[in-house]
Structures are given as C-alpha cells and as structure tokens.
Structure 1
Amino acid sequence: MNATSDLTIIEQCRISPPPFTIGHRSMPLTFFDMTWLLFPPVHHTFFYDFPHSKSHFLETVVPNLKHSLSLTLQHFFPFVSNLFVFTVPDHSGLIKKPEIRHVEGDYVALTFAESSADFTDLTGNHPRKCEKFYPLVPHLGKAVKTSDYVSIPLFSVQVTFFPNSGISIGTTNHHSLADATTRFRFLKVWTSMAKFGEDRSDILTRAPPIYDRLIDIPKLDEKKLKETKLESFYQPPSLVGSGGDKVRATFVLARTNIDRLKKMVVTQLPEVEYVSSFTVTCSYIWSCIARSQAKICKDDLEQFIFTVDCRSRLDPPVPAAYSGNCGAPCIVTIKSVVLSGENGFLTAVKLFGEGITKMVNNKDGILKDAEKWHDGFKVPARKIGIAGTPKLDFYAMDFGWGKVKKYETISIDYNSSISITSGRESTQDVEIGLCFPSLQMKAFGKIFNVGLV
C-alpha cells in the first residue's frame, strides 16, 4: 500500500462495463463541449456517515461499488471512454473535431483509500484549509500524446474510508464530458444500482441517455475549433499548489432569507421583470464578495459568469436526457465601487434579470448571438463563475448508507469560483461553497451574516 500524508492507498483497480455491452463507439464534441476543452477538470466529493469497521468496508462497500459502477458504465459509455483531440490537419487542411471514443477494454480508474483525517472537520461548514480536500479527489490519468492527437481519460473515482466515521466518494471528470445535468443523471443511476444491489436498467427505460448529436451547427463548431488553442491541450492542471492560504467554507441561504431578499427587490425595484431565487442568491453573494475585498479601485470591473441550460430553450428543444454539455454563458459586468456600495445588491439583481431576459427571450432563439457569447471574457475584470445549480439535489445521492452528509465542489479552488446546490436539510434552501484567502473569508462571513439580520 502507498501512503501520502493522511492517506493510505488500499487498492487501485480498473472498472470496465460487462464485456461486449458497448463495443467500439465514438461521439464528436459539439461547440457546447469544445468550450470546456482547456478548462481544469471538475472535482466533486460526497461525504457519508459510515460508523463501521475497515473489515466491513472491505467486505461490503468495495465489491458493491465495483459491481454497481461496472453495470452503470454500460449505459453511460462516454464516462468509460477517452477524449481524442486531433492536432494535425487532415488531407483537406482542416483539423478534425475532437471526439469521445470508446474501444472494448476501456476502463475507469477506481481507487480505494483510507484516511486518518478528521471526518467531522471535513464535513463542517466552517473555514477549512483547501489543501485538506485534495487527497480525496483522483487524477484523471495521464494523457497520451502522439504525432496526430492527444488522448486522455474522461472520468475517475476515489473512495476513501475514514475508520468508524465515514466514507467519501471523490469524482473527477474532464469538463468536455458532461455538464451538471448529465453528471447528475449518471450518479442517480450508479447510486440506485449500488443501493438495490442489482441491475436497475429499468430506471433508464423511460429516459435513457441520448448520445445522438442533436445539436449540429457546423458554423459554430468551426468557429469554436478555430478559437481553441489545441496546441496547448495536453495534461490538465492539478490541484496541487492551488490551496496556498485559501480556506473553503459553506454558507446557507435559507428559504426565509431568500424570500426576504426577493421581497426587498420587488418593493424597491418594482420595474424589474425577472426576480428568482437564483438571481437574488447570486446577487447577494456577489455583493458580499465585493465588500469583502481588501482594496477596491474606482474603475475596477467585476464580472459574474453563470451558465444557462439550453436544452429546453433550443428550437427544437433537446430532451432532458441529452448527454454532454448544453449550456450558454451569461455574463454580468459592473463597477466594483457600485457593487460594493449600499445599493450593490439591488443593482446586481437588476443586471442579472436583464441579462437572463435578453438571452432566453431572444425572438430569434437563444443561439442567435452564440458567436458573441464569449466576447465578454475578453473584458479586463475580476471574474467569478458559478459551479452547479440549486435545481439538482446532489444531497439525495444514496449509495445505501443514507443521504449525503456533505457535498463539496473541490474544483472551485482553481479560480475561486462559487459552488451552488440545493440545501441538505431542505431543497428550498441554497448552499453556497466558497474558496478565499483566510482573511477575506473572515470578512465575507461577517458581511454575509449581518446582511441577513
């Protein structure tokens, strides 16, 4: 067994679907997927109470997770595939679109480990060193570079046992593989397979994953392919070195707080057409972050970037079971001095509402301005992005040990983004995960709590 700090590797294995259930398959990326080619991997960790011995873990959990993952992968072939990015033009002088490719024998790297870290500390909401979480998420695996292409695994899993305390399930995926909706569907099937101890393929009968590339817009594919610097595509970055002085903490906006914020907006800005739980949550968090910054310059700009799911907004609509990425960026920009001011929250809500309304109510369809979607990224500004959505209940992922005790999006550490999910105690609450330097986190916590009194 290999040991690193508080972590001891118990077993490293390769999980494939049952033989001959997938065969050789390939699926080209769309421009929605290619947007994420050069982004860091996505890391999530699910913590569960598991007050049992190591022998019980090895005898029951380990074989069950291996078997249930294998059964699940036969229905979600991209998760057990490799991403192929071509770097040399073909005979026509064009570079072929990247694709997800599966061949018989491909596998998901599954690691079982044991940790002596404090399970109670890791599953709290209070500030904790970001680096404490890095041993709990797996690497994707090494990229393979040839003269014509680069290939890299798309998904990996690590299961960590905390003696007599709990279990964590750490997942890592390349962002071009899936958005939150696709990842949620995969996990729902896997947890069901594990909990009920049998092939639950019947739960997929009504809405199996859809791998047909229903979104085929060559003009946008070509533009995105030209914009993406594929020559720099190789090994995705690692979390090592991302922590520094940063801590992660969780804040909860209860439904009563959200309703109070919405009432404030409706009362003071009756002209705003679009006010939702999501917009008031993001606006409140954003204004608190601006006020927590140590130094604010008059001409500095702040940008908030979030993704709008396009499945139901395309013409014709794409089914909810469509697998891959299907989101459009919505970018809101404001001066730091305004956002951190007395009316920063209300101004942000107005901008969010206008941005969403303009995008989803475009009379020519949501794809009308798709070629300009990413122009806003070029604006020199302090950028904050959103990972996740409160519409998906990740706390409901039950492998048979009960609901999730704590859910963390570890990959926000790469760029100090924000994670958002529905609350553990109530799906009407919103749980916000943040990663900041310790002094800023302390300032943010005070501002956040005072604003809700």
Structure 2
Amino acid sequence: MTVHHAACDGASSTRFLHAWAAAATGAEGPPPPVIDRTLVEDPRGRLYDLFAKAMPTADQMEHVKMPDDHLFATFTLSKGDIQRVKDVVAGEAGRRGTVPPRCSSLVATFGFIWSCYQRAKDAGSSSGARTFLCFPIDHRSRMKPPVPAEYLGNCVGAAIHAAPEDQLAEAGAGGLFVACTAVAAAIEEAVGGVGSPELWIEQFKEAGVAGTGMLTVAGSPRFRVYEVDLGFGRPVKVEIVSVARTGAMAVAEGRKGGGGMEISRCVNPIQ
C-alpha cells in the first residue's frame, strides 16, 4: 500500500484498510469517511504557504538514495517490558526527588527506543548538544470545533522535544528518565496548544543546523494494523518500508496482542 500525505494521514489510510477488510470478509465496517476540507479551519490562511515553502519538493523526496548497507530490524516490547520501563523511570524520579513524568505505554516505548538509539549512535558523546524526537499527534478531537474521527484528510500536528545527547545516552535509569521526561513534555505541549506550525519548522531547522538530527515516528499502535483481515487471515508481519528512506522508527501494536508494542528501525549495522 502506498499513501501520499497530500491526500490523507495515517489515521485515514488505516481506516480505509479496515473498511476494505470489512468489505472483503462481510464484517461490519467503520462509518463512511467524511470528505470536507473546510472542517479543518485555517483562519489566517497561512498553512499552505508555510509548509509549501518549508518542505522539500516532491522530486527531492523521491530521489533520496536508499542505503545499501542498512539493516531492517523489528523489536517487540511486551506489556511487562513496558511496565519495567515505567517502574525504572518512577524509581529514578524518586531518587532525584522530582515528580515523575506521566509515563504512559507510548511514552515508555518512545523513551526506551530513543535512549537506546542515542546510546548506540553516539556512545561516549559528552557534547551536551540537543537532539530531537518528533512524532505525530491526531488533532481531530482537539480542534475547535472538533473534527469527526471519520475525517478523510490530514489533521495531525507535531509533538517535538529536545534532550541533551549525552544525557539520553546514559546507560540504565538515567537515560530512560531523560528520554521519557522529554517525550511526556512533547505530548503535554502538543495537546496543550503550546506548539504551532511555525515552531515546528524552527525546531526542524535547529536540528538541521546543530547536526544532531531528529528521530521521527511513523505509524501508531492505535491503527490496529494487525487486525486488518482481507480474507486471508490476520497479517503475519506489517512493515512501513518508507522508514528505510526517512530514518523514522515505525510503531504498531504488538502482533500477538496483550498490550505490547512493535518497533521497527532501519539503521547502519553498527548501530
């Protein structure tokens, strides 16, 4: 399946897959899509120009070279694994005498992967330079007025936060605490209306100038991709192959259920 984000976001594309699967198997499908772009208001009329000027052209995106030496790996965190991350973060907060971050399963998963990735990528770094994590937030229910969940289009914003590279790369509880605190802060700022398209672009630029990079996220455990049965049974494996080009980490619910999460990365073998 190929999706162009000028047409829709991940929530819309996977809703389409669930509708397709229902039609193929005779099951009850989701409500029909709502196709009305006026539902997403842009009172100042600036969004198109803002993103059109900031984003690379389609030609530039399509001609990014695929690395020959990278490996695609998938890791599964069970519900127990995620709970252990939460416990470590809470314990580290107690040791530091500070209030622990709101460590949901998503926060624990993103924080764990971010810290591990940074430790593998920059072992021994002591620069203190900031590096960023960016992941999408669905704003349908947060719009004023709210946009229907069935809206077919793009209605996502960016949750972005930075953390010092050397602190993220700390082994053990220290790196996990720093990472999860930053992820929780990104969510709070995104849903609290602190972020804005202008700020997102500035943060992307800061990451580019600093040369420390930005780890991005594709997918969501809420999409329930392992429940898409097109008549052949549930998928054995779902992959977001575009992460080989973008460097993002792909996220889905655990294929065996039980509250776990699946994370895929395409990286250099030494990382």
Question: TM-score of the superposition, structure 2-length normalised?
Answer: 0.87
How much has 1:345 moved relative to structure 2? 1.0
Cα contact 2:101–2:180 (8 A) shared by 1: no
Q: Are the counterparts in 2 of residues 274 and 357 from structure 1 also a CA contact under 8 Å?
A: no
Q: State the SS of the aligned residue for 1:177.
A: coil
**2: CA distance between counterparts of 1:335 and 1:232?**
27
Larger relative contact order (Cα-Cα within 8 Å, sequence gap ≥ 6): 2
In the TM superposition, 1:214-293 aligns within 5 A as 214-219=39-44, 221-229=45-53, 233-235=57-59, 237-238=61-62, 241-269=65-93, 271-293=99-121
Q: Structure 1 residue 299: deviation in Å? A: 4.0
Maintained 8 Å contact 2:122/2:169: no
- Cα 1:244/1:297, change in 2 over 3 Å: farther
Which of 155, 167, 170 is matched with 1:338 structurally?
A: 167
Match in the other structure for 1:324: 153
One-letter amino acid matched to 2:131:
E
Identity over aligned pairs, percent: 29
Alignment of 1:42-441 (within 5 A): 171-196=1-26, 203=29, 207-213=31-37, 214-219=39-44, 221-229=45-53, 233-235=57-59, 237-238=61-62, 241-269=65-93, 271-293=99-121, 296=125, 298-342=127-171, 343-360=174-191, 362=192, 366=193, 369-379=196-206, 380=210, 381-426=212-257, 428-440=259-271
SS at match of 1:433: strand
Tell whether the 8 Å contact from 1:242 to 1:414 is kept in structure 2 after alignment. yes
What per-residue deviation string (whole Å, max 9, x for no partner) do you get for residues 63-116 of structure 1?
xxxxxxxxxxxxxxxxxxxxxxxxxxxxxxxxxxxxxxxxxxxxxxxxxxxxxx
| Contact 2:24–2:231, Cα closer than 8 Å, also in 1 | yes
Counterparts of 2:35 and 2:16 in 1: how far apart (Å)? 13
CA distance in 1, matches of 2:16, 2:112: 32
- State how far apart, in whole Å, the 1-side matches of 2:81 and 2:58 are: 45
Structure with larger Rg: 1
RMSD over aligned CA atoms reads 2.4
- Residue aligned with 1:252, SS: strand
Instruction: Report the Cα offset of residue 269 of structure 1.
Output: 1.9
User: Number of paired residues?
Assistant: 259
Contact 1:306 1:385 in 2 (8 A): yes
Question: Secondary structure of 1:189's match?
Answer: helix
Letter of the 1:324 partner, please give it: G
Structure 2: gaps of 5 or more residues: none
Please list the CA deviations of residues 208-249 of structure 1 after superposition, one character each: whole Å capped at 9, or x if unmatched.
211112012142x42441452399645474478413100101
Which residues of structure 1 form unaligned runs of 5+? Answer: 1-170, 441-453
Change (3 A) 1:255 1:292: same
One-letter identity of the residue aligned with 1:412: V
* Structure-2 change in CA distance of 1:191 and 1:313 (3 Å): same
Work out the CA distance in 2 between the residues paired with 1:226 and 1:357: 24
- 1:156 maps to none
Task: Please identify which structure carries the higher strand content.
Answer: 1
TM-score between both structures, scaled by the size of structure 1: 0.53
DSSP 3-state at the match of 1:229? helix
